[in-house]
Amino acid sequence: MSGIFSGLSKLGLYGIEGVEIFEKDEKNDFLEENARREQKKADKKKVVIDEMDTIYDKTYICPVCDIEFKSKTVMTGKAKLVSIDTDLRPRYQEVDCIKYDCVTCDNCGYSVLTRYFGSLSSSQIKSIKDNICDNFQGVEFGKNIYSYDDAITRYQLALANSIVKHAKNSERAYACLKLAWLYRGKAEHLDETEIDYDAWLEECKSEEKKYLANAYEGFKNAMQNEYFPICGMDEPTLIYLIADLARRNKDYETSAKLISQLIISKNTPTKVKERARDLKEIIRQEVKEGKSME
């Protein structure tokens, strides 16, 4: 509305130039803000209810302590996939399934990604008992759903277990990747009205970056030393993932080489090629923006 009264300056009415035509209705502003807050509370409550409807307690027998325990998992067919991030993080409408893809024995501290739950060698069991179980003091998780902090703790336990049992680099890298996804999800669900929002957001971004760097190194090693499939991925899919992890770690040269490899290869599935082309454009734009800031 600036300048709407500029013509009155010739009449000597300079002070009226910045005046609004209509008075601000502070009462309505308060009501609208209050309504937004109430809607936000209602939306949060709805998310919790929906998430509870998609999960159940699954029973396991711990291969380390032989005690029966329960771990929450998502019911088959209950979560609707809505999109996939460039690093293959799936996004679901009702629930973040990543929070529930880790099995943790709350008795002894044995924790593992669901994909790797199963038998352990006697030496692995001994190592887990000596390094995890003997020092484990117990932990309580959400009774109805797992919060992001609950899930992060469980995955960190899984990563620690994978290290002491000398798991393959791919298993460790996969845990790091999913921890990065969890911190990304946590950042997306932070309450912007909280006083410490900016600090929490920065912490989430920092932690995500740290785990993405470790995932990048782990998958590169696995690519060179392990047989496919790796973490359920075929070779083109893993190459694509490493290319995006390289991009996220600002290793644009490696990322570009891997993308070109995928695009020209006859063995690359159509969907992976499409993702690779999209990623190539993202890199081009990021490099361009980076140079313009120098």
Q: How far apart are CA 74 and CA 78, in angstroms?
A: 7
Q: Are residues 156 and 135 in the same domain?
A: yes
Domain boundary pick from 224, 254, 273: 224
Q: How far apart are CA 110 and CA 127, in angstroms?
A: 11
Q: Are residues 267 and 157 in the same domain?
A: no
Q: Are residues 215 and 70 in the same domain?
A: yes
Other CB atoms within a 10 A radius of the CB of residue 281 amount to 9
Q: What local confidence, expressed as pLDDT, does residue 40 receive? A: 61
Q: State both tokens at 253.
A: 């040269």
Judge whether 7 lies within some domain: no
Judge whether 185 lies within some domain: yes
- The pTM assigned to this predicted structure is 0.82
Burial of 21 (0-12, 13-18, 19+ CB in 10 A): exposed
Q: Are residues 249 and 195 in the same domain?
A: no
Torsion angle, alpha carbons of 6, 7, 11, 12, to 10: 10
Q: Are residues 133 and 250 in the same domain?
A: no
Q: Are residues 187 and 241 in the same domain?
A: no
Q: Are residues 88 and 150 in the same domain?
A: yes
Judge whether 44 lies within some domain: no
Judge whether 285 lies within some domain: yes
Judge whether 20 lies within some domain: no
Closest Cα to residue 138, out of 115, 100, 111, 162?
111
**212 within 8 A of 180, measured Cβ to Cβ:** yes
Judge whether 107 lies within some domain: yes
Q: Are residues 75 and 220 in the same domain?
A: yes
Domain boundary pick from 205, 224, 243: 224
Q: What local confidence, expressed as pLDDT, does residue 83 receive? A: 96
Q: How far apart are CA 84 and CA 101, in angstroms?
A: 17
Q: Are residues 79 and 174 in the same domain?
A: yes
Q: State both tokens at 269.
A: 């599935």
Judge whether 31 lies within some domain: no
Domain boundary pick from 202, 224, 246: 224
Buried b (16+ CB within 10 A) or exposed e, 64-98: bbeeebebbbbeeebbeeeeeebbbbebbebbbbb
Q: Are residues 95 and 196 in the same domain?
A: yes
Q: Are residues 204 and 247 in the same domain?
A: no
Judge whether 292 lies within some domain: yes
Q: What local confidence, expressed as pLDDT, does residue 220 receive? A: 97
Number of folded domains that form the chain: 2
Q: What local confidence, expressed as pLDDT, does residue 27 receive? A: 53
- Local structure of 58: helix, strand or coil: strand
Q: What local confidence, expressed as pLDDT, does residue 119 receive? A: 87
Q: Which domain holds residue 210?
A: 55-224
| pLDDT by residue, tens only, the chain of 294 residues | 444 445 445 444 544 455 554 455 555 566 666 666 666 665 555 545 489 999 999 999 999 999 999 999 999 988 999 999 999 999 999 899 999 999 999 999 999 999 999 889 999 999 999 999 999 988 888 788 999 999 999 999 999 999 999 999 999 999 999 999 999 999 999 999 999 999 999 999 999 999 999 999 999 999 999 999 999 999 999 999 999 999 999 999 999 999 999 999 999 999 999 999 999 999 999 998 875 544
Q: What angle, rounded to 10 degrees, do the helices at 197-225 and 235-248 form?
A: 140
